[in-house]
């Protein structure tokens, strides 16, 4: 029941109407006896600062930040943890007695999702498709957690090369390299393939970022950050070749679990978060 002690957790983005986070969080809060509500707010880019000032004034416990505000929110915070600074994007903010600290739980959530499925990338080669915001969070996580070689392949190759340089500079070393997406056939078979492009996302479900002749045999894990549809064309092809398929619901779930851990210091079970996303209320 909502009462005078109920704590508000917010999401800001633009747009936010299709976000799955409110229902996932609210189901989790109910089942974990957290006296909180999670509300989504569509905030225009020019109002991000005002929104954060308002959250300070209201002394809310925390908020999530989604596209397109993950960079823009940073100047309004008091502190940023190291991973979020390296990535240059924040998706979770906690308010500790008026001090707002930003985190990137997309990145930590991605690593938790691998751990949960027993996928160990240490020393192993990864082929990452895409060079946008999602790719940056994933590539940073992989480089910081000891992946062998991370090849970032993008339709616009300059962006892949720039992202690889950025991450190499931050983490020290040369674990990342950039490549044109059209050239990935010549890259030796990776342990894990990650799709961080939007190719294949609803409604473009017939689209696949892989060249038609790309050989998936030998790839152990295919991770598509897309969750709508749950099985992209890329994941269907990967499954046919015996790869372990992982879809974007995992990253969505684990970034939320990580955020709830930061705000409320509790550990949520994966299954509960999944049921929240699927809007399943009646379970024990
Ligand atoms: P996000 O924040 O989700 O990462 P983004 O920053 O807009 O979104 O990045 C989208 C990524 O998907 C980019 O790497 C983009 O490639 P370009 O840099 O060449 O634009 C990639 N992308 C989008 N549509 C694609 C398609 N049809 N085929 C291949 N890559 C595509």
Asked, for residue 116, whether it belongs to a domain, the answer is: yes
Active site annotation includes 237: no
Do 146 and 231 lie in a common domain?
Answer: yes
Tokens in use for 155?
A: 């339709």
User: Do 166 and 229 share a structural domain?
Assistant: yes
Phi/psi at 265 (5° precision): 55, 45
Tokens of 60: 């809310």
- Residue in the structure block whose two tokens are 């909180």: 36
Considering its fold, how many domains does the chain have in total?
2
* Catalytic residue selected from 70, 236, 237, 275: 70
Residue 53 within a domain: yes
Q: Ligand 1: does its nearest atom lie under 6 Å from the Cβ of 155? A: yes
Using the predicted structure, report yes or no on whether residue 284 has a pLDDT greater than 50: no
Residue 281, pLDDT score: 64
Cα(196)–Cα(132) distance, rounded to whole angstroms? 8
From the CA of 130, how far away is ligand 1's center (Å)? 6
Instruction: Quote the pTM value.
Output: 0.95
Is residue 133 domain-shared with residue 198, that is, in the same domain?
yes
Q: Is residue 1 part of a domain?
A: no
Running DSSP on this structure, what letter comes out for residue 158? H
CA–CA distance, 283 with 75 (Å, rounded to integer): 42
Distance in angstroms (rounded) separating the CA atoms of residues 105 and 258: 6
Q: How many angstroms from the chain centroid is the CA of residue 250?
A: 9
For ligand 1, atom 5: residue with the closest CA: 132
Take residue 261 and report the two structure tokens written for it.
Answer: 């851990």
Whether 137 and 185 map to the same domain: the answer is yes
CB neighbour burial string for 249-278, b if at least 16 within 10 angstroms, e if fewer: bbbbbbbbbbbbbbbbeeebeeebbebbbe
Which protein residue's CA is at the shortest distance from atom 3 of ligand 1?
A: 134
Strand 192-195 with 221-224, pairing: parallel
What would the pLDDT profile of 33-88 be if each residue is shown by its tens digit?
999 999 999 999 999 999 999 999 999 999 999 999 999 999 999 999 999 999 99
Residues 59 and 144 in one domain: no
Domain contains 84: yes
Write the CATH number for 30: 3.40.50.10860
Residue 169: pLDDT above 70?
yes
| 180, 51: one domain | no
Asked if 123 and 139 sit in the same domain, the reply is yes
Whether 215 has a binding-site annotation, put simply, is: no
Q: Does residue 225 sit in the same domain as residue 119? A: yes
Which pLDDT belongs to residue 1? 87
User: Same domain for 78 and 40?
Assistant: yes
Residue 154 counted as an annotated binding residue:
yes
Site to probe by mutation for ligand 1, drawn from 88, 129, 139, 155 as the one with most ligand atoms within 8 Å of Cβ, is 155
Q: Are residues 261 and 133 in the same domain?
A: no
Q: Is residue 60 part of a domain?
A: yes
Do 66 and 151 fall within a single domain?
Answer: no
Q: What is the pLDDT of residue 282?
A: 55
Torsion of CA 172, 226, 51, 91, to 10 degrees: -30
Q: How many CA atoms lie within 13 A of 133 on its CB side?
A: 15
Distance 128 CA to ligand 1 centre (A): 12
Tens digit of pLDDT for each residue in 84-102? 999 999 999 999 999 999 9
- Among protein residues, the one with the nearest Cα to ligand 1's atom 9 is 132
Q: Which domain holds residue 60?
A: 7-103+250-282
Establish whether 157 is an annotated binding residue.
yes
Coil vs helix vs strand at 173: coil
66 is in an annotated binding site: yes
Query: Does any domain span residue 14?
Result: yes
First to last CA, the chain: 19
Tell me if 173 is assigned to some domain. yes
CATH code of residue 187: 3.40.50.720
Listed in sequence order, the residues at least 6 apart from 84 whose beta carbon sits closer than 8 Å to its beta carbon are: 74, 90, 102, 103, 104, 107
* Beta carbon of 232 within 6 Å of any ligand 1 atom: no
Q: In this predicted structure, what is the pLDDT of residue 50?
A: 98
Residue whose tokens read 């991450």: 167
pLDDT exceeds cutoff 90 at 279: no
Average pLDDT, the chain: 96
Identify the residue whose C-alpha is closest to ligand 1 atom 22.
Answer: 197
Same domain, 94 and 189: no
Cα 148 to middle of ligand 1, angstroms: 24
Distance 133 CA to ligand 1 centre (A): 9
User: 209 CB under 6 A from ligand 1?
Assistant: yes
188 pLDDT band, cuts 50/70/90, is: confident
In this structure, is residue 2 part of a structural domain?
no
């Amino acid at each position: 029941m909502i009462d005078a002690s109920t704590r508000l957790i917010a999401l800001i983005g633009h747009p936010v109407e299709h976000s799955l986070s409110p229902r996932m969080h609210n189901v989790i809060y109910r089942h974990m006896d957290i006296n909180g509500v999670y509300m989504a707010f569509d905030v225009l880019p020019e109002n991000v600062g005002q929104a954060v000032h308002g959250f300070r004034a209201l002394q809310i416990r925390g908020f999530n930040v989604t596209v397109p505000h993950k960079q823009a929110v940073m100047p309004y915070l008091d502190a940023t943890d190291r991973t979020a600074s390296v990535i240059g994007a924040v998706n979770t903010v906690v308010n500790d007695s008026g001090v707002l600290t930003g985190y990137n739980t997309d990145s930590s959530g991605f690593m938790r999702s691998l751990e949960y499925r027993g996928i160990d990338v240490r020393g192993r080669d990864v082929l990452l498709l895409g060079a946008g915001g999602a790719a940056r969070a994933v590539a940073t996580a992989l480089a910081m957690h000891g992946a062998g070689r991370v090849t970032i392949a993008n339709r616009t190759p300059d962006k892949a090369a720039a992202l690889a340089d950025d991450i190499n500079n931050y983490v020290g070393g040369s674990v990342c390299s950039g490549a044109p997406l059209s050239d990935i056939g010549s890259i030796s078979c990776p342990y894990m393939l990650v799709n961080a492009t939007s190719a294949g996302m609803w409604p473009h479900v017939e689209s696949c970022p892989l060249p038609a002749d790309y050989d998936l045999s030998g790839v152990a894990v295919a991770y598509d950050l897309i969750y709508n549809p749950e099985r992209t064309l890329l994941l269907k092809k990967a499954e046919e070749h015996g790869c372990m398929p992982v879809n974007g619901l995992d990253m969505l779930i684990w970034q939320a679990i990580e955020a709830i851990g930061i705000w409320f210091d509790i550990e949520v079970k994966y299954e509960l978060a999944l049921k929240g996303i699927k809007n399943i209320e009646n379970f024990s």
